[in-house]
Amino acid sequence: MAGSFVKKLKHGLLMTHTEFIEKVGESFRRTGPVESSHIDRLEEALIAADTGVELSIRLADELREEIRKGSLTTAEELRPAIRGRLLDLLNTALSANPVTQTGAGPKVTLLVGVNGTGKTTTVAKIAKRRKENGATVVLAAADTFRAAAVEQLQIWAERVGVPVISQHEGADPAAVVYDAIASAKARPADEVIIDTAGRLHTHANLMKELEKVRKVAAREVDGAPHEVLLVLDATTGSNGIEQALRFGATVGVNGVVLTKLDGTAKGGVILAIADTLRLPVRWVGVGEGADDLLPFDPEDFVDALLES
């Protein structure tokens, strides 16, 4: 399981990894004194992977400073030095956003994000994972803005074998969430996973709607929603940061799902998300199939990125 997981992650990160290692692999394989050109190349590789200019420069400057101080002297030390820094960054974002569920009732997870990022698909993928781990799950089709969204979730729910609570197009999403939580309590089920709209007539309307969904969840289950996951499409790279800022404040995002990592060399955006938003990536999407979702592990990610 662990082996196939790492293989899938590597495959998902293939484009990012290949481009990254093309630029820095040679520096990593060198022996002898570390040279400033190695750091320059590393800086370029980070920027090209969409790590963000500011963060890339900062990381490179820290390494330059280590060279100046004499604590980084050989080329062999370069990879462990950058590895440690990237891990720190990812682990800090993770520990800043603990997911706690203390009271009774189902765990409630809310997925938010703009249309097309992969929200509905991800709801189904997470449900499948949970089910495989022995949890019982109820889905809530709270994107009532588009009939197609409800139908799509119903198709997915059937495919992965979990119940979905839905209403007619245009219904109040908060009412759907209320029903789904009631259904989960009655069964009883361990988790409710909520799909939400990515677009309404205005952004303000969307935020108001998500806020209402949040309130209903909080009223029905202590501490809910326990997880609010922002779904971002990796192929849009740093655009995702903008989206996160638009959603973050209103809906209390405490984690990110980065989808479509299989189709881009911009995997460095995971680092930018951790640095700029202080948010951890919890899952990565690496394909369109039900099994193409991996729980994000900082160490596996950094190793898959830096392996030459």
Binding site for ligand GDP (CB under 6 A): 113, 115-121, 198, 259-260, 262-263, 285-288, 292
What is the distance between the alpha carbons of residues 81 and 76, in angstroms, rounded to a whole number?
A: 9
d(CA 80, CA 82): 6
Of 117 and 236, CB closest to ligand GDP: 117
**Distance in Å, CB of 160 to ligand GDP, minimum:** 13
- Tell me how far, at minimum, the Cβ of 257 lies from ligand GDP, in Å: 9
Nearer to ligand GDP, 159 or 219 (CB): 159
Q: How far is the CB of 223 from ligand GDP (least distance, A)?
A: 26
Q: Minimal distance in Å, beta carbon 259 to ligand GDP?
A: 4
Cβ proximity to ligand GDP, 115 vs 250, nearer residue: 115
If the CB atoms of residues 92 and 250 are measured against ligand GDP, the closer one turns out to be 250
Residue 42 or 304: the one with the smaller Cβ distance to ligand GDP is 304
Nearest CB to ligand GDP, comparing residues 106 and 118? 118
For residue 161, the one-letter residue type is G
Minimum distance from residue 138 beta carbon to ligand GDP (Å): 18
* Contact between 116 and 198 (Cβ < 8 Å): yes
DSSP state of 273: I
**CB-nearest residue to ligand GDP:** 285
Judge contact between 110 and 217, C-beta under 8 A.
yes
Q: How many CB atoms lie within 10 A of CB 246?
A: 15
Going through the chain in order, the beta strands assigned E by DSSP cover 107-112, 137-142, 164-165, 191-196, 227-233, 255-259, 281-285, 293-295
How far CA 64 is from CA of 58, 82, 141, 290, 301, in Å, comes to: 10, 11, 51, 44, 24
Best CA proximity match to 209, nearest among 109, 99, 105, 112: 112
Minimum distance from residue 148 beta carbon to ligand GDP (Å): 9
Of 281, 289, 287, 229, the residue nearest 258 (C-alpha): 281
